């Protein structure tokens, strides 16, 4: 693992009204590692990814550092510019628009007057759809997203995250609403990302998946970081037992 962390979170806190969603989160992510972010419902996993993705603002006092540089005024546009791609839990798709418009959402290929190069976007979307194994001939890049199934929509959201060159990909529950075969593909795809040298944060409700892909586990419990350590030779059973213990006692 290289010395300099890709992303560093220092004292991240988040409150929603009177609810403390995250408390004193300190976390370092290194290039080329897959981190499984686990924890019960309401543990703060999604909130934490949203803060890293820039769609949710952390409370004052916390700090996000990217490749050693402090990031002030962090937002979603900036996060994407600096190479952080996210597959959000709600998929973040504009359903009445076409697949290609969704893939290039917020990152349209335009000429210098801001007009979209539609042909180019459609072509790239088409080759992307093939690359990730969209075999269905029913859908073209111009099809509206609302005509796709849940798994296919998830496929669009994932394609969007890999089309652009990134250094960190965060996937929040990417396998929900997917068929078993599709789930297996997603796991393969996450391993591919690592081979390309990208870092991955993977959130899953399925502890076996979370264990299988991870290099390292980060466990949240009621907004606190209660475990951060490498997988080493921890077996899936040990891992699940550890999760159970945490759920019972609040710590290991």
Partner 1 sequence: MSEENSKTSVVENAVVKKFVIPDKMKPVIGAAGFYLIMMAIFIFFAPDVFLDVGMFTAVFLSLPLYIIMGLALVFVTVAGEIDLSFPSIVPLSGLAFSVTLTATGFNFWAAFFASLLTGVACGLLNGFLVTKLGFSSLITTLGVNFMLIGLTQVLNRGEVRQFTEFDESPIRRAIVGSWGPIPAQMFWGLGLAVILGLIFNRHRFGIHVHIAGDNPEAGRAMGINIERVKVYCFVLVGICCALTSTVGILLNSTYYSTMGEGYLLPVLAAVFVGGTPVTGGRGTIAGLVIGATTVVFINTGVIAVGLDGYYTQLGFGLVIILSLLGHRTLSGRLTR
Beta carbon nearer to partner 1, 11 or 130: 130
| Length, in residues, of the chain | 252
Beta carbon nearer to partner 1, 8 or 182: 182
Smallest distance from partner 1 to CB 77, Å:
3
Beta carbon nearer to partner 1, 59 or 124: 124
Smallest distance from partner 1 to CB 26, Å:
25
Nearest to 79 by CA among 56, 101, 100, 112: 56
Instruction: Read off φ and ψ for residue 234, nearest 5 degrees.
Output: -65, 130
C-alpha angle 137/140/141, rounded to 5°?
A: 150
CB 210 within 8 A of CB 179: no
The site for partner 1 (CB under 8 A) is made up of: 53-55, 75-81, 86, 88, 90-97, 101, 105-108, 110, 113-116, 118, 123-124, 126-128, 130-133, 137, 140, 144, 160, 163, 185, 188-189, 192, 195-196
Nearest to 13 by CA among 47, 38, 53: 47
CA distance 2 to 197: 12
Smallest distance from partner 1 to CB 122, Å:
8
CA distance 149 to 178: 9
Beta carbon nearer to partner 1, 113 or 180: 113
Smallest distance from partner 1 to CB 171, Å:
14
Beta carbon nearer to partner 1, 106 or 232: 106
Beta carbon nearer to partner 1, 179 or 252: 179
Our measurement of the distance from residue 176's CA atom to the centroid of its chain's CA atoms, rounded to an integer in Å, reads 13
Smallest distance from partner 1 to CB 137, Å:
5
Smallest distance from partner 1 to CB 87, Å:
10
H/E stretch holding 35 reads strand 34-38
């Amino acid at each position: 693992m290289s010395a300099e962390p890709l992303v560093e979170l220092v004292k991240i806190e988040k409150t929603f009204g009177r609810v403390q969603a995250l408390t004193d989160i300190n976390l370092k992510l290194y290039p080329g590692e897959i981190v499984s972010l686990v924890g019960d419902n309401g543990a703060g996993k999604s909130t934490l990814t949203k803060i890293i993705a820039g769609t949710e603002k952390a409370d004052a006092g916390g700090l996000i550092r990217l490749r050693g540089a402090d990031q002030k005024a962090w937002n979603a546009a900036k996060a994407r510019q600096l190479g952080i791609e996210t597959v959000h839990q709600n998929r973040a798709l504009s359903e009445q628009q076409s697949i290609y418009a969704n893939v290039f959402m917020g990152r349209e290929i335009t000429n210098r007057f801001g007009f979209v190069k539609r042909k180019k976007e459609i072509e790239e979307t088409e080759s992307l759809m093939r690359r990730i194994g969209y075999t269905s001939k029913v859908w073209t890049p111009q099809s509206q997203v609302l005509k796709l199934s849940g798994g296919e929509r998830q496929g669009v959201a994932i394609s969007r995250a890999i089309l652009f060159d990134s250094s960190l990909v965060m996937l929040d529950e990417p396998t929900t609403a997917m068929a078993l075969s599709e789930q297996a593909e997603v796991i393969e795809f996450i391993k591919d990302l690592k081979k390309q040298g990208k870092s991955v944060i993977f959130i899953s409700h399925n502890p076996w998946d979370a264990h299988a892909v991870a290099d390292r586990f980060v466990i949240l419990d009621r907004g606190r970081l209660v475990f951060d350590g490498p997988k080493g030779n921890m077996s899936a059973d040990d891992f699940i037992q550890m999760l159970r213990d945490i759920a019972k006692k609040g710590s290991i």
